[in-house]
Amino acid sequence: MIEFTIDGKTVQAERGESLLKIAGEHGFRIPHLCYHEAVQAYGACRLCLVEVTQTSHGRKRTKLTTSCNYPAMEGIEVVTQSERINRNRRMIIELLLARAPKSKRLQELAAEYNVPTGRFKESDHECILCGLCVQVCRDVVGVDALGFTGRGVNKEARPPFGEPSKECIACGACVEACPVDCIKMEETHTLRTIVRWERSLPMRVCEECGYPFAPTFQLMHFAKKSGKPLSEFRLCPDCR
């Protein structure tokens, strides 16, 4: 265990733990969009800025850095709120909002931080390229149906070759993970559709209550991963 301070308060943590995570556990609120405990922090949205001061050979050096992918170190001093942080954060929110103007989450952040609007041309991308959907699909679900394609302004997170993925099991994990809500899922009695990835799969109906509870393809994936026969997935979670 190591000790350091956050806004003057001494905290203990394991060396190398994410500053954002530790700050959250101690009640310090640092806004963030692309951090997800289940995957490695990638530092994409830049929203979780903090100032970190390190003392080396009697000299103090302060830098502005993202906290989600900054490892806890002995003796550092972390500041979560300052004019410098707010100035930079406002600019980041403004740019993200120009990229995804329909995002409610970004609109709320813009209101909270009093962010000016209209200085940058709005796009209709919706996606802020945080990469969470790609990571969650690959590292949590174990499917790897998504990736980044293109470069610069043409960069996109989506299934490879710009076609509906044949791998996607329509589990909805990426829908949950997307911080700006741009991956929509629609469900009828017979079909589940991940709209952004143009993937529709037939639903399996619970043999007990008749409720359509998951796509058959998703259950086949679970059966394969767990080594159990598909027949063990005949019932919905409530009837199991």
Residues in contact with ligand FES by CB under 6 A are 32-35, 43-48, 66, 68
Answer with the entry of ligand FES, ligand SF4, none that 49 interacts with (C-beta below 5 to 8 A by kind). Answer: none
Residue matched to tokens 């990736």: 147
Residue matched to tokens 């960069």: 155
Name, in order, each residue with C-beta under 8 angstroms of 80's C-beta and a sequence gap of 6 or more. 6, 7, 23, 28, 29, 30, 50, 67
* Residue 187: CB minimum distance to ligand SF4, A: 12
Answer with the entry of ligand SF4, ligand FES, none that 66 interacts with (C-beta below 5 to 8 A by kind). Answer: ligand FES
Instruction: Yes or no: say if 146 and 137 are a contact pair by the CB < 8 Å rule.
Output: yes
Helices (H), 74-121: 83-99, 104-112
Token code pair at residue 114? 């009093």
Answer with the entry of ligand FES, ligand SF4, none that 32 interacts with (C-beta below 5 to 8 A by kind). Answer: ligand FES
Q: Is 96 in the site for ligand SF4 (CB under 6 A)?
A: no
Residue matched to tokens 């005949």: 234
Token code pair at residue 231? 């027949």
x/- letters, 186..215, toward ligand SF4 (CB under 6 A): --------x--x------------------
**How are the residues of the chain apportioned to helix, strand and coil, as percentages rounded to the nearest 5?**
30, 25, 45
* Residue 49: CB minimum distance to ligand SF4, A: 19
Reference 28, options 40, 42, 11, 14; nearest CA is 11
Instruction: Yes or no: say if 170 and 215 are a contact pair by the CB < 8 Å rule.
Output: yes
Stretches 22-30, 105-113, 163-171, 203-211: which one binds ligand SF4 (CB under 6 A)?
A: 163-171
* Residue 41: CB minimum distance to ligand FES, A: 6
* Residue 33: CB minimum distance to ligand SF4, A: 8
Rounded (10°) angle between helices 104-112 and 83-99: 150
Answer with the entry of ligand FES, ligand SF4, none that 68 interacts with (C-beta below 5 to 8 A by kind). Answer: ligand FES
Q: Identify residues 100-139 at the interface with ligand SF4 (CB under 6 A).
A: 127-133, 136-137
Residues of this chain that interact with ligand SF4 (CB under 6 A) are 127-133, 136-137, 141, 143, 145-146, 157, 168-174, 177-178, 180, 182-183, 194, 197
